Structure 1
Amino acid sequence: MTKETKSRDLAEPADTAGPVGEVKTALTRFVSEIRSLNDGLNMRLQQTEERLTMLDRKSFAPAQKQMRPQLSRDADLDAPHQKAFDAYLRSGDDDGLRGIVPEGKAMSTAVAGDGGYLVDPQTAATIQSVLRSSSSLRTVANIVHVEATSYDVLVDHADLGHGWATETGATAETATPGIERISIPLHELSALPKVSQRLLDDAAFDLESWLAGRIADRFARAEAAAFVTGDGVDKPTGFLTHNAVANDIWTWGNLGYVPTGATGDFASTDSADVIFDLVYSLDAEYRANGTFVMNSKTAGALRKLKDGDGRFLWTDGLAAEQPARLAGYPVVIAEDMPDIAAGAFAIAFGDFAAGYTVAERPDVRILRDPFSAKPHVLFYATKRVGGDVSDFAAIKLLKFAAS
């Protein structure tokens, strides 16, 4: 066989006769079809990738614009109130605040300059956060936000009458429940922090954080005192302001108390028993959410109390955010509670979420005063808040007296 004939036989397997030739022919066709199919898939995949690339370029352009750092004009568009408020605080320029159109958002709407301007949302949130985290009755009381000048509470402090009826017997009329209406007026709470104009001119000075911290500190201390001992005259009514009577003769409108059995001290024997007497003087519906309220000096004395088996009644919280517990119930340290003394109501126990209500407007106003304390600038910050006992059955007191 010549070299030319051998080459033709290898290049043209279809001409080969016999079963072997048929298999080679079928295999060649199969490989050819696979290659054609693969080429078609690759072409379609490339076209799809090109389309996706074009779509990504079109959609990524606006998204990339939104992801850019917020500088100058972009920041003004996203936070007009914050920029305008900062300008007002630093230089007294209120044109930006006056130009803000009300949109129904209480924390981002400017008000008349004579009454001050609402602080920007971030500053307001900082103030509210500090107030909530402060050691005061606010941490356990019922907090409501209102837009009116007062908040009314309707309390059903008498059971609805009931009776048993038969199929043929006459039904007797039952007693009606007693409804008590408690009105909590809102009072204006103010703070007056002062700063120099030179510091205001310093762009690196974080004015909003400084102002929020000063305002929150003043507000927190004033509120904490008023919620405990406020007389209700231009300030909230503290729960200790209400008349207290022995729990055995308790009536609505008064707070019931349990005596320690010794004047200005715990009883000399079984000292810890009075703590349990106080706890169980509260009805079961309130006791489940009970909290002790006292100041630091009283807490120091209670840490030494032991039960009959020699175990301490006081246990510290297992975590940093958890409160200490007395007889299994959480303790709130309120420094405005009175010290242990003769006849003092140094410890309170109750469900304060039911027993005491704090009503407030959710906005803080600031008025800039560059004239009254030259060369310093005063910031007159105000908010409206009120508080009072809303359920006299939900709070009990411990009186350090013989009876």
Structure 2
Amino acid sequence: MRYTLESYRAANDERLAGLEARNGVDPLTEEKLARIDGALDEALRRIDRLTLDRSRPALGRDGQGTRDPLVAEHKAAFAAYVRTGEAGGLKRLEAKALSAGSGPDGGYLAPSTVEGEILRRLANISPIRALATVRTISSGSYKKAFSTAGPASGWVSETAVRPQTATPTLAELSFPAMELYAMPAATQTLLDDAIVNIDQWIAEEVESAFAEQEGAAFVSGDGVDKPKGFLAYPTVAEASWSWGNIGVLNTGVAGAFAALNPGDALIDLVYALKAGYRQNGTFVMNRKTQGAVRKFKDANGNYLWQPPASAGASATLLGFPLVEAEDMPDIANNAVAIAFGDFRRGYLVVDRAGVRILRDPYSAKPYVLFYTTKRVGGGVQDFAAIKGLTFAS
């Protein structure tokens, strides 16, 4: 029987009426009141317990990957959409979040767990992303102001008149986020298998496609519908370097290293970088160039290239980390085949928050396609932090 506050009041009024009539207390009325008291106390205890559970901070993860009920609800709705195409849950969630249910090309936002797994995998296998500064934005573009000429300064005596300083000249760098897509396919049998982790499957399917496209764009992308790579900016001789250009040094031989002391060009490249950048410097080149460089020795017969000191570490060249990026040019006439710099300060990657997925069970029957898109941009943010080695006379 369900007891309410109204039923308790009615029973208590009946009890009081019996006392006023001096007829004594009806045992049945007392028993009824006791049952209602117990039921109300139990309901209050349940409410208190639920309130306490909701206010307790999440100390771990449950089987759904999170203890946040909203995130868990989004994850469950997303799994239902991927497996069966049922989009009602995602529509309700995105409407509740006051965001559009579909983008220009359709689809729904993947849970943060899926997005985080994709970005984690990209950081592990995309060489420039692993070196660069990465920022997450909520708009379509990231803008950064920088000073082309700092305020004037100088020394003065304690009582001398302070001259008015010049106003700093500011300019703006803009990093628009461009659309990157992949389209993994699955059979309905795979999607029906409840033991398959859908989040992990999507991340595994798109990581290689995203990393390959990102790697090429961050090195040599032209900035048209893709990020602008650091080799796409104008290059000038280091002696004439100015902001907005990448400073380069020449090997002295067209399409090759010098026959005598070839490692000297690498030393010159290292010391073309100012000390503040050099301490965090990294060499970037492709495997063919690395194959040539690792044969160089110093005057004592020691190799300039050294293997990784531990598992997961990078090889070193002249004591600096060396990262292999397949999208760097091969050694050729006038090619900038080696870059050295502090890429954390020199290159910026911007990720627009959100990975969108559109389920397509019609275009490639009997397979189900998942049109997966993310927005990413990139470009040089500090032109003094990256130098290049050109194979030219």
The TM-score with structure 2 as length reference comes to 0.78
> What does residue 80 of structure 1 align with?
73
Question: Could you tell me how far 1:161 is from its partner in structure 2?
Answer: 1.7
CA 1:110 to 1:208, structure 2 compared with 1: closer, same or farther past 3 Å? Answer: farther
d(CA) in 1 for partners of 2:153, 2:345: 25
Q: 1:141 aligned to 132, 139, 147, which one?
A: 132
Out of 157, 179, 182, the residue aligned to residue 191 of structure 1 is: 182
Give distance in 1, aligned partners of 2:334 and 2:275.
27
CA deviation string 1:79-120 (max 9, x = no partner): 222222111111111122223267769xxx883376311112
SS at match of 1:361: strand
Q: Is the 8 A contact 1:110 1:118 kept in 2?
A: no
Question: In 2, distance between residues paired with 1:178 and 1:384?
Answer: 31
Distance 1:185-1:398 versus aligned 2 partners, 3 A rule: same
Give the aligned partner of residue 90 of structure 1: 83
- 8 Å contact 1:317–1:324 — kept in the other structure? yes
Q: Which residue of 2 aligns with 1:249?
A: 240
Is the partner of 2:201 in helix, strand or coil?
A: helix
Whether 2:364 is the aligned partner of 1:373: answer: yes
How far off its partner does 1:328 sit? 1.1
Contact 1:153 1:181 in 2 (8 A): yes
Tell me the distance in 1 between the aligned counterparts of 2:159 and 2:195: 86
- How far is the alpha carbon of 1:297 from its aligned partner? 1.1
> Partner of 1:270: helix, strand, or coil?
coil
Give 3-state SS (helix, strand or coil) of 1:161's partner.
coil
Instruction: Tell me, in whole angstroms, the C-alpha distance in 2 between the residues paired with 1:308 and 1:389.
Output: 36
Shift, 1:344, TM fit? 0.7
**Corresponding residue for 1:329?**
320
Maintained 8 Å contact 1:76/1:83? no
Task: Look up the match of 2:102.
Answer: 112
- Given that 2:126 and 2:214 are in contact with CA atoms closer than 8 Å, whether structure 1 keeps it comes out as no
Structure 1 residue 358: Cα displacement: 0.6
> Deviation at 1:70?
5.8
In the alignment, the residues of structure 2 paired with residue 325 and residue 314 of structure 1 have an alpha-carbon distance, to the nearest angstrom, of: 6
Q: What is the count of residue pairs matched by the alignment?
A: 335
Q: Percent identity?
A: 48
The Cα of 1:160 is off from its aligned counterpart by 3.1
**Per-residue CA distance 1:225-271 (angstroms, 9 max, x = gap):** 10001011100001100110110111111110010111111111111
> 1:399 and 2:369 equivalent?
no
Q: Could you say if the C-alpha distance between residues 341 and 77 of structure 1 is closer, same or farther in structure 2, counting changes exceeding 3 Å?
A: closer
Cα displacement (A) at 1:207: 3.4
1:317 correspondence with 2:320: no
Mapped contact 2:126–2:212 kept (Cα < 8 A): no
The equivalent residue for 1:227 is 218
Q: Which has the higher helix share?
A: 1
Deviations 1:311-345 (A, max 9, x none): 11111221112111111111111110011111110
Letter in 2 for 1:268: A
**2 CA distance for matches of 1:78 and 1:166?**
62
| Alignment-derived partner of residue 266 in structure 2 | 275
Q: Is the 8 A contact 1:135 1:332 kept in 2?
A: no
The runs of at least 4 aligned residues of structure 1 exceeding 6 Å deviation read 74-78, 101-105
* Distance (whole Å) between structure 1 residues aligned to residue 251 and residue 229 of structure 2: 23
TM-score using structure 1 length: 0.76
CA distance in 2, matches of 1:178, 1:274: 36
Residue aligning to 1:387: 378
Q: CA deviation at 1:282?
A: 0.8
Cα distance in 2 between the residues matched to 1:313 and 1:143: 31
Amino acid at match of 1:79: A
Following TM superposition, by how much is the alpha carbon of 1:382 offset from its aligned partner in structure 2, in angstroms? 0.6
Q: Deviations over 1:353-380 (max 9, x none)?
A: 1111011113211011112222221111
Give SS of 2:349's match: strand
1:156 is aligned to 147
Alpha-carbon shift at residue 171 of structure 1 (Å)? 3.9
Give the counterpart letter for 2:277 in structure 1: Y
For residues 157-209 of structure 1, the C-alpha deviation after alignment (integer angstroms, 9 at most, x for no partner) is 43432122235655444444332310111111111111223332333444332
Aligned-CA RMSD value: 2.8
Note the alpha carbon deviations across 1:49-99, whole angstroms, 9 max, x for none.
xxxxxxxxxx9xx99xx99x969xx99998222222111111111122223
Unmatched 5+ stretches in structure 2: 1-48
Larger gyration radius, structure 1 or structure 2: 1
| Secondary structure in structure 2 of the residue aligned to 1:357 | strand
SS of equivalent to 1:137: helix
Question: Residue type matched to 1:382 in 2?
Answer: T
Whichever residue aligns with residue 188 of structure 1, its letter is E
Asked whether 1:345 is paired with 2:328, we answer no
Counterparts in 2 of 1:177 and 1:270: CA distance versus 1, 3 Å: farther
Unpaired stretches in structure 1, ≥5 consecutive residues: 1-58
Which SS does the other structure have where 1:312 is aligned?
Answer: coil
CA change 1:177–1:312 in 2 (3 A) is farther
How many Å apart are 1:290 and its aligned residue?
0.9
User: Counterpart amino acid of 1:85?
Assistant: F
State the secondary structure of the residue aligned to 2:153.
Answer: coil
2:29 equivalent in structure 1: none
Distance apart, 1:393 and its partner CA:
0.9
How many angstroms apart in 2 are the aligned matches of 1:389 and 1:75? 38
- Structural mapping, 1:171-190, within 5 Å: 171-190=162-181
Match of 2:209? 218
CA distance in 2 between partners of 1:376 and 1:184 (Å): 37
1:153 Cα offset (Å): 1.4
Q: Which residue of 2 is the match for residue 284 of structure 1?
A: 275
Q: Relative to 1, partners in 2 of residues 1:78 and 1:138: Cα closer, same or farther, differing over 3 Å? A: closer
